[in-house]
Structure 1
Amino acid sequence: MAYFGKRQQLKRNFGFLSIAGFVCSLLSTWEGMFAVFLYGFQNGGPAGLVYGYIFCFIGTLCTVASLAEMSSMMPLSGGQYHWVSILAPKSHAKFLSYMTGWLTVIGWQAGQASVAFLCATLVQALVILNHPTYVPERWQATLIFYAVLAVVLFVNTYLARWLPKIEGLVLCIHILGFFGVLIPLVYLAPHGKATDVFATFVNGGGWSTDGISFFIGLITSVFSFLGADSACHMSEEIHNASTVVPWAMITTILLNGALGFALLIALLFCLGDINDALTSPTGFPFIEIFRQATNSNSAATGMTCIIVIIMFAAAIGIMATASRLLWAFARDHGVPGSAYLSRVHEPTALPLYSILVSAIISLLLALINIGSTAAFNSIVSVNVAAFFTSYMIPIVLILKKRLRRDPIKDKIHWGPWRMGPILGPIVNISGLIYSMITMFFSFWPNTQVVTPVTMNWSCVIFAAAILYSVVFYMIWGKHSYKWPIVDPIRRQQ
C-alpha cells in the first residue's frame, strides 16, 4: 500500500473463504432472481429468462474478469476510480477519476437502499401471505426498512470483528438454502413441458418486437449479478489481496451463476398457475409458486425466509462495501466532509463516520417511499447505470493500453492474476459490449405505454447525478480532490 501512497489503517481480517462468502451473499444471485422474477417474465417470458440469464452470466463473467485483473494490479478500496487515475491520460486522469468515484459511490449508496427496501417488502409479503386481510401501507414498509437498517448497522459496527466468520456461515446458508428451496419445489410441484420453458417468449410490455422486450427483461438477470466489485472495495481488509480478490470475484460468479441457473430452470418448470402467481397480492410471484408447489402457507413461508435471511446478509455486505468506498473516496478528498469521513476509529479499525453516513443516506431515501414508491424506485434504480458506467471507464482504458501496447504509467506492473495479451482484449471487449447494452436498456420502462407512475425515471436521475458531479468538480473537487498518485514522494510535494 505504501507504493500507492497509502498507509494501512484497516485490519486485514478476511481470507479467501470469508470474502467469497461475503461476495456470494451480497450478490445473492438465485435469491435476488426470485425477488425480481416478475420483470423478466413480463418481458421475455420463460425462454427470455433462460437465454437472458445465459447472456448475462457470460457478460458478467467477462466484465468481472476485466475488473479482477485490475484489482490484482491495484488492490485498493477505491477500486474503479483509483484504477482510472492510473490508466487514464495525465491530462484527463483527475476529472475521469473523480467522475468514476462519484458514480461508484452513488451506485453503492443506491444499492444499499434498494436491497434494504427489498428486505422490507419481502417481510410485508410474508405478512400478506399468512394474513390475507392485512392491507400493506407505504409507511409500514418504511418502518420495516428502518428495522432492517438498524440490524445491518449493528452488525457493521458492534459485530464487525466477527464479520468474516459471519460471512463464512452465510456462505453455508446460501448453499444449503439452495437445496432447501430446490428439493421441495422440484419434488412437490407439477412439471411443465420443455417447450413451455425453452420456446415460449412473452412480450407483456407491448413492444414492437420480441427482441426489445427480451433486452428490457434482462434486468432480472442483471440484478442477480450486480455488485461483484464489492471484493475490490474490501481489498484493504483482505490478506494477500492481489491474489485473493480476483479469485474470489471469479469464483463467486461461477458458483452463483451455476446455482442461479439451476433454480431458474427448476422454477420455470414448476410455475403452476402462472396467472395466480403474477397477480399474487404479495407482489412476488415466487411466493405464490412456492405455495402452490407445497400446498402450504407455512412451507412457502419457510422457503421464503431462507431468501429473506440471505437478503439481510446482502444488505450487511452492501453497507460494508458502500462505507469502505465512501471512506476511500473521502481519503482522497473526493466528497464534502472528507476530514470526518476519512477518519478511522482506532480501537475498532473501522471507518465509523462513513458507516453512519451511509446508514443516514438510506434512512433519508426511505422517507421518499412514504410519499411515492415510484419516486423511491426511480432513485435507487439508478445504481445499475452508475455501476456499469464505473465499470466501462476503466475497462476502456485498460483495453486501450492493451491494443496500443502502451506501458502503464508509474511503473505499475500486472498482478498475479492476469488474462494475457490474447485473452485479455477479447474479454475486455466482451465485457464492454455487455456493459453498454445493460446500461442502455436499464433506462427503458417495462411497458411501451407509460404513465408518470410507470415511467422509468432512472435516466433523468442518472443525468442529474452526472450533472451534479461535473458542477461539483468544477466548483470544489477540481481544487480539493487529491487524486490517487502512485509515487508517495510526488504526493508530498
Structure 2
Amino acid sequence: MDVELRVRAKGSFPSDGVTNMDYTTDERDLLRLGKRPVLKASIPILVSTQSLLNGGPAGVIWGYLIVWVGTLSTFTVLSELASMAPTAGGQYHWVAMLAPDSSRRFLSYITGWMTFAGWQAVTASAAYLIGTLLQGVIVMVKSDYTPEPWQAMLFLWAVLAFSVFINTVASKTLAHFEGMAEEIKDASIVVPRAIVISIVLNGILGFAMLLAYLFCLGNLDAVLDSQAYLGYPFLFVFLSGTKSKAGAAVMGLVIVALGICSTVGVLASSSRMLRSFSRDRGIPFWRHFMKLASRTSIPIYTIAFTATVSLLLSLIILGSSVAFNNIVNLSVVGLYSSYLISCSLLLWRRLQPQSISPYDPDIVRVGPNNLHWGPWRIPGVLGILNNAFACIYLFVLWFWAFWPPATPVDAQEMNFSVLTFGFVALFAVIWHFVQGKKEYKGPIVEIDC
C-alpha cells in the first residue's frame, strides 16, 4: 500500500470473504483508489461580444476554432486522468497521484482549494447569467421595463432554488441533468468517452450555429449597441432575424431553459466536489460536509453550503454588478489553475520512462507509487504532443484571465480576478500551515487490501 495514502478505517469495509472480483467494474475502480463506493450509481449514461469588438466576424470564427481545439485537447488529457481515477475529487486527487513525493500533499491541497473555490464561483455565476438573460428577454418584449439589480438577484435565487430542489427533493430526476463520476456505471470508460464525444459534437453544432449567427448579424454597430439595453447582443440578432418579438423571446427562453438545466448540473458538481474534498479532510468542518443523507445518500450538507455561498455572493449585486462579476471570475482562474497543474504533472510523468504502467483491470491499488493507465487514453508520441499542447493552451488562458478586457482601464473595466484568486490562494496556504497539514494527508484510503 502506498505510504502517502493514509488508512482511515482499517477493516471497516466488509471483509467476509468478498474479493475484488465480486464487485462491479465501477466498484473495483474505486477500490483501486482506496475509496468506498457509497454514492448510488443510479445515473445513466454564446457568441463573445469581446471577440466581435476585437476582430469582427473573422475574429469570432478564428477565436472559436482555437478555443474548440484547445478545449478538446485539454479535456482529452483530463479524460485520460478520469479513466485512471474516476472520482468526484477530480483534479486534487489526480495531483496527489502524479506529484513528486516532496510536494505531493501541498500541491494536492492547493489544487483542491482552487477547484473548490472555482466550482463555488461557477454556481453563483451560472445562476446570475441566466437571471440577467431572462431580464434581457423581458426588455426585448416589454420595452418600458427597466431591469434592476435586485430583480437580477431574485431571478438568481429562483434558478438556485430550482437547482436545489432537483438535487435534493427530486434527486431521482438528476440523471437528466448531470452525472458524477462515482455515480456513473462503467465510469472509467463512459466518462472519458462522453467528455470527448460531447466536445466534438457540440463543437461541430456550435460552429454551424455560429456561421448562421454571423450570416444573420446585420449591422455590427447596431448589434454591439444593443448590449447597453438588452445585455446580450445575440437577443438583438434573434429579433432582427425573426422580425418578431414573440419568436425572438421563444428563442431566448430556450437558452434560459438550457441554462437552468446547466445550473442544476453545476450545483451537483460543486456539491460532490466539496463532499469529496471534505471526505479527505481538506477544508474546515470537514466532518459535517462529508455526511450523506441516511436514506437517499445525497450530500445534503454540501448542497446547502454551495447554495448558501451563492446566496451570499448574490447580495453583492445590490451594490455593484461589476464587483460581483470580478468575484465570480474566480470560476475561470480557479478551475484553469487546477487543470493546468493536473495536465502539467501528467506530462511530467509521461516523459519519465515506465512511470505509468499499462492498464490492468485486476490491479489491487492505484496510487503515487503504483500508477496505471485507465482503459481510455491516447498512447505514444501523439499523447505526449496533445498533453504538451493542452498545457500551453491552459497557461495562455490562465495568464490572460487576469488582464482587463480593454484600455484605458478604470474601476468599471478593471479585472480584479488577481485579487480574488490571490486571496483564496493565500488563505489556502495559511490554512495549510495552521491546520491543513495536520489533517490533510492526501486522498484517504478508506479500505485496506
TM superposition score normalised by structure 2: 0.88
| Contact 1:278/1:284 (<8 A) preserved | no
Which residue number in structure 2 is paired with residue 426 of structure 1?
385
Deviation string, structure 1 residues 276-303 (Cα, Å, up to 9, x no partner): 2222211111111111111110010011
Q: 1:336 aligns with which of 262, 275, 284?
A: 284
Mapping for residues 227-246 of structure 1, pairs under 5 Å = 234-246=180-192
> Given the alignment of the two structures, is residue 366 of structure 1 paired with residue 314 of structure 2, yes or no?
yes
Mapping for residues 187-226 of structure 1, pairs under 5 Å = none
Structure 2 segments unaligned to the other structure (5+ residues):
1-29, 357-367
- Which secondary structure does the structure 2 equivalent of 1:68 belong to? helix
* In 2: Cα distance, 1:50 partner to 1:371 partner: 36
Q: 2:335 aligns with which of 387, 392, 396?
A: 387
- 1 or 2, which has the higher helix percentage? 1
Question: Residue 40 and residue 236 in structure 1: after superposition, are their counterparts in 2 closer, same or farther (change >3 A)?
Answer: same
AA of the residue aligned to 1:4: L
| Contact 1:80/1:104 (<8 A) preserved | yes
Q: 2:248 aligns with which of 275, 295, 300?
A: 300
AA of the residue aligned to 2:422: A
Which residue number in structure 1 is paired with residue 364 of structure 2?
none
- Deviation of the 1:92 alpha carbon: 0.6
| Contact 2:329/2:417 (<8 A) preserved | yes
> Given the alignment of the two structures, is residue 270 of structure 1 paired with residue 216 of structure 2, yes or no?
yes
- Which secondary structure does the structure 1 equivalent of 2:427 belong to? helix
- Deviation of the 1:385 alpha carbon: 1.1
Which region of structure 1 is more displaced relative to structure 2, 123-132 or 406-415?
Answer: 406-415
* In 1: Cα distance, 2:56 partner to 2:422 partner: 31
Deviation string, structure 1 residues 115-152 (Cα, Å, up to 9, x no partner): 10001001111111111111111111111111111111
Which residue number in structure 2 is paired with residue 457 of structure 1?
416
- Deviation of the 1:399 alpha carbon: 0.8
Query: Among the aligned pairs, what percent are the same residue?
Result: 42
Deviation string, structure 1 residues 58-98 (Cα, Å, up to 9, x no partner): 11111101010011011111011001101111121000000
Q: 2:92 aligns with which of 81, 88, 100?
A: 81
Deviation string, structure 1 residues 216-248 (Cα, Å, up to 9, x no partner): xxxxxxxxxxxxxx86xx111000111111001
AA of the residue aligned to 1:259: L
- Deviation of the 1:44 alpha carbon: 2.4
AA of the residue aligned to 1:118: L
| Contact 1:3/1:488 (<8 A) preserved | no
Mapping for residues 313-324 of structure 1, pairs under 5 Å = 313-324=261-272
Which residue number in structure 1 is paired with residue 34 of structure 2?
5
AA of the residue aligned to 2:44: G
> Given the alignment of the two structures, is residue 356 of structure 1 paired with residue 304 of structure 2, yes or no?
yes
- Deviation of the 1:384 alpha carbon: 1.1
Q: 2:140 aligns with which of 129, 136, 151?
A: 129
Deviation string, structure 1 residues 331-377 (Cα, Å, up to 9, x no partner): 00111111110001121111010011110010000001110101000
> Given the alignment of the two structures, is residue 253 of structure 1 paired with residue 199 of structure 2, yes or no?
yes
| Contact 1:410/1:487 (<8 A) preserved | no
Aligned residues between the structures: 407
Structure 1 segments unaligned to the other structure (5+ residues):
17-32, 168-229
- Deviation of the 1:411 alpha carbon: 2.1
Q: 1:45 aligns with which of 37, 40, 56?
A: 56
| Contact 1:3/1:486 (<8 A) preserved | no
* In 2: Cα distance, 1:485 partner to 1:332 partner: 5
- Deviation of the 1:478 alpha carbon: 0.9
